[in-house]
């Protein structure tokens, strides 16, 4: 591979995506910082999943381009792109009866060719992914029989096994209890410290503010603001993006912005 390690080189240039007549991502330009942990936030239906899919060639933009290392992502062969970008979709579906190891084997598919099938590299990649996600003891378990937290780790392990520099995770913490949410975010942060570039869609603004090195706020298919959480998260932004009135206080643990929604009864009584 001629990919500089740790470099994502992912850039959206005026990307527009439509399912029908109406575009759901509108002329979005965005440079994903290499080696960063970028979080995308925004209300339901604003186009987050659509955009992140386009970053992994899951959708072809109607206008504009997604550039990967200076080349249109669609100019790569499929496997070549999949060796550089891995996407965990919002609602991944595991084949019936597949084991954790079986799932991870699928992550190795982009590394195979007609001449080069299974190799020790594949075993090493799977071993690494199992180790990092704490799934060694569950490698032979069926994915369908895992708890929610374990299953989510299995999916993360699958994208890890793909051994890309760039990981795209669409709502990786949804359906997890609060402790498992933080466990997963910590794992992402460690991976980022080790050189991966991570992009995640997250619903919890306070978690996003704690973990993101770069925050992207979307509304109605457009980017409303981007930057370091402390620089962009204000009551005005939260109201603009989510139609929610709030106070922002420093997170007592980290000092990062923490959103405290306004109590509507109290606000009504005060006026």
List interacting residues with Mg ion (CB under 5 A): 48-49, 90
135 binds, among ligand ADP, Mg ion, none (CB under 5 to 8 A by kind): none
Name the binder of 46 from ligand ADP, Mg ion, none, CB < 5-8 A by kind. ligand ADP
Measured CA to CA, the distance from residue 117 to residue 114 in angstroms comes to 7
**Of 90 and 142, CB closest to Mg ion:** 90
Phi (first) and psi of residue 12, to 5 degrees: -100, 130
Q: How many CB atoms lie within 10 A of CB 42?
A: 22
49 part of the interface to ligand ADP, by CB under 6 A: yes
d(CA 226, CA 90): 22
Q: Name 16's bridge partners.
A: 63
Strands 222-227 and 214-219 come out as antiparallel
How far, CA to CA in Å, does 15 sit from each of 9, 29, 50, 52?
16, 6, 11, 11
Look at strands 166-170 and 197-201 and give their pairing: parallel
Closest CA to 129 of 187, 199, 200: 187
CA 79 distance to own-chain centroid: 20
Structure tokens at 244: 């929610």
The interface with ligand ADP within residues 50-109 (CB under 6 A) comprises: 50
C-beta of 54 vs 129, nearer to Mg ion: 54
By CB under 6 A, tell whether 24 contacts ligand ADP: yes
Among 47, 107, 172, 257, binds ligand ADP (CB under 6 A): 47
Let me know: does 28 contact 224? Beta carbons within 8 Å: no
Residue 271 binding target from ligand ADP, Mg ion, none, CB below 5 to 8 Å by type: none
164 binds ligand ADP (CB under 6 A): no
Helix ranges (DSSP H) in 133-259 = 148-161, 178-193, 205-211, 229-232, 235-242
- Compute the least distance from the CB of residue 232 to ligand ADP, in Å: 18
User: Smaller CB distance to Mg ion: residue 161 or 201?
Assistant: 201
Residue 171: CB minimum distance to Mg ion, A: 6
Nearest C-alpha neighbor of 94 from the set 12, 190, 158, 14: 158
CB 122 → Mg ion: shortest distance, Å?
A: 31
Q: CB of 118: closest distance to ligand ADP in angstroms?
A: 34
Considering only the stretches 43-51, 122-130, 154-162, 190-198, report the one whose residues sit in contact with ligand ADP under the rule CB under 6 A: 43-51
Q: Closest distance between Mg ion and the C-beta of residue 267, in Å?
A: 30
Among Mg ion, ligand ADP, none, partner that 44 touches (CB below 5 to 8 angstroms by kind): ligand ADP
> Where does this chain bind ligand ADP (CB under 6 A)?
19, 24, 42, 44-50
């Amino acid at each position: 591979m001629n990919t500089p390690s740790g470099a994502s080189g992912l850039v959206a240039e005026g990307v527009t995506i439509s399912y029908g007549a109406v575009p759901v991502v509108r002329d979005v330009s965005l440079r994903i910082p290499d080696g960063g942990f970028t979080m995308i936030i925004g209300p339901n239906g604003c186009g987050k999943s659509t955009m992140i899919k386009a970053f992994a060639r899951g959708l072809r933009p109607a206008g504009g381009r997604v550039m990967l290392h200076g080349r249109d992502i669609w100019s790569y062969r499929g496997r070549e792109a999949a060796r550089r970008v891995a996407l965990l979709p919002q609602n991944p579906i595991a084949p019936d009866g597949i084991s954790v190891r079986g799932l991870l084997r699928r992550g190795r598919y982009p590394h195979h060719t007609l001449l080069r099938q299974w190799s020790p590299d594949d075993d090493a990649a799977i071993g690494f992914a199992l180790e990092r996600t704490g799934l060694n003891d569950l490698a032979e378990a069926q994915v369908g029989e895992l708890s929610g937290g374990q299953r989510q780790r299995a999916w993360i392990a699958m994208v890890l096994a793909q051994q890309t520099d760039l990981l795209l995770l669409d709502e990786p913490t949804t359906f997890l209890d609060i402790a498992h949410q933080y466990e997963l975010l910590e794992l992402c942060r460690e991976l980022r410290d080790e050189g991966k570039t991570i992009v995640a869609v997250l619903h919890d603004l306070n978690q996003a503010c704690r973990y993101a090195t770069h925050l992207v706020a979307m509304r109605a298919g457009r980017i409303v603001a981007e930057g370091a959480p402390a620089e962009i998260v204000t009551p005005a932004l939260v109201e603009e993006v989510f139609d929610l009135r709030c106070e922002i206080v420093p997170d007592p643990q980290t000092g990062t912005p923490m959103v405290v929604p306004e109590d509507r009864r109290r606000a009504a009584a005060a006026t």
